[in-house]
């Protein structure tokens, strides 16, 4: 049994003992006063508060993934716009050169009265010169034709690049709106959760925290009781060790939604940066990590693998062995070690498969 479990059980036992000793004897007890609205809520009331706070933070986590996805998409769109702008600039230079060449051809025809020099040679009456310059005339015609074709192709290419850039700008603008909407949703839900917590007295907040720990411990105990840990014997790869070392070095740093270090992290910011440090770029969000990375059985799990939580893949932690993960839990918490089964597991993915 862990030290935390022992401490929690001792605390619960102490609370129960105090409750029994403090209970009035039926024969001599004074009339029990009617509870007022400010009376300390019962555990079932606090449990309802805890459930509501958990839901608010869960919804904020979903919105955080939406925000991170919009941000990642905006970065890709911005890069695409920059590349398109460079292509347009290069294409414009090429178009200017082609126009200059076409102008030179036009000026040459003007100087020769509209008759190319090769044609003048053909009309010179010299048979040998006629034969020699017939090929030159054909080559000149082909060159002019190719020049005009290149000019038209370049103009079409520039028009396509301009249309693509315009479309990317529209997508970027739409993404900015999605990002702003997600930000408002996150801030609203976090503020509501924090407001709800702030209405509790200090002792109530402490009890609430213990209820959270008990729920996590119960889930972890149930997970371990399934015997799954006996089947997990995987050893970390060199890259997996680096990822775990990076994540371990972030312990104690605060959770901040949308953050990916170095001073703070959200859940997927931590895992994506850990694997980037290990030399493997992975998707930024937990939902994309779930979609894009290779899925493996829990029994085959090894340190460095990522455990995805909840049906909507809204949370992620890094498995570090011995049934534990490192993760950035939620606002108001820090990067910490927790039981791998302390939340509802959706599945496991492997970044270095």
Q: Which of 197, 206, 161, 175 is nearest to 57 (CA)?
A: 197
Q: How far is CA 125 from CA 113, 117, 339, in A?
A: 19, 14, 99
Paired sense of beta strands 315-321 and 306-309, if any: antiparallel
Q: Is the peptide bond before 319 cis (omega within 30 degrees of 0)?
A: no
Q: How far is it between the farthest Cα atoms of the chain?
A: 141
**Backbone phi, psi, residue 51, to 5°:** -60, -40
Q: Phi and psi for 197 in degrees, rounded to 5?
A: -65, -35
Burial of residue 200 (CB within 10 Å: 0-12, 13-18, 19+) is middle
Residues assigned a catalytic role: 267, 315, 327
- β-bridge partners, 285: none
Q: DSSP assignment, residue 254? A: B
Contact (Cβ atoms closer than 8 angstroms) between residue 15 and residue 43: no
């Amino acid at each position: 049994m862990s030290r935390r479990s022992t401490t929690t059980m001792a605390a619960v036992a102490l609370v129960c003992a105090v409750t029994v000793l403090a209970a009035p004897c039926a024969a001599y007890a004074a009339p029990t006063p009617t509870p007022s609205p400010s009376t300390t809520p019962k555990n079932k009331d606090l449990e309802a508060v805890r459930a509501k706070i958990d839901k608010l933070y869960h919804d904020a986590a979903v919105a955080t993934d939406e925000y991170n996805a919009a941000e990642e998409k905006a970065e890709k769109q911005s890069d695409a716009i920059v590349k398109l702008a460079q292509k347009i600039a290069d294409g414009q230079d090429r178009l200017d050169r082609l126009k200059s060449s076409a102008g030179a051809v036009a000026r040459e025809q003007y100087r020769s009265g509209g008759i190319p020099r090769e044609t003048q040679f053909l009309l010179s009456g010299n048979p040998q010169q006629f034969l020699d310059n017939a090929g030159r005339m054909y080559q000149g015609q082909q060159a002019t034709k190719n020049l005009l074709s290149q000019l038209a192709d370049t103009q079409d290419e520039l028009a396509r690049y301009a249309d693509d850039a315009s479309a990317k700008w529209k997508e970027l603008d739409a993404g900015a709106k999605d990002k702003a909407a997600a930000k408002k949703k996150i801030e609203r839900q976090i503020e509501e959760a924090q407001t709800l917590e702030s209405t509790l007295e200090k002792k109530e907040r402490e009890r609430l925290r213990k209820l959270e720990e008990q729920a996590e411990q119960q889930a972890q105990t149930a997970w371990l009781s399934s015997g799954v840990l006996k089947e997990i014997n995987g050893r970390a790869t060199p890259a997996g060790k680096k990822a775990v070392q990076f994540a371990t070095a972030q312990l104690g740093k605060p959770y901040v939604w949308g953050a990916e270090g170095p001073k703070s992290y959200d859940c997927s910011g931590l895992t994506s940066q850990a694997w980037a440090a290990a030399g493997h770029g992975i998707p930024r969000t937990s939902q994309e990590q779930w979609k894009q990375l290779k899925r493996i059985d829990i029994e085959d799990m090894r340190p460095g693998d990522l455990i995805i939580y909840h049906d909507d893949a809204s949370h992620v932690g890094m498995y570090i062995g011995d049934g534990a993960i490192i993760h950035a839990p939620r606002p108001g918490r820090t990067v910490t070690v927790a039981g791998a089964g302390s939340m509802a597991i959706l599945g496991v993915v492997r970044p270095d498969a």
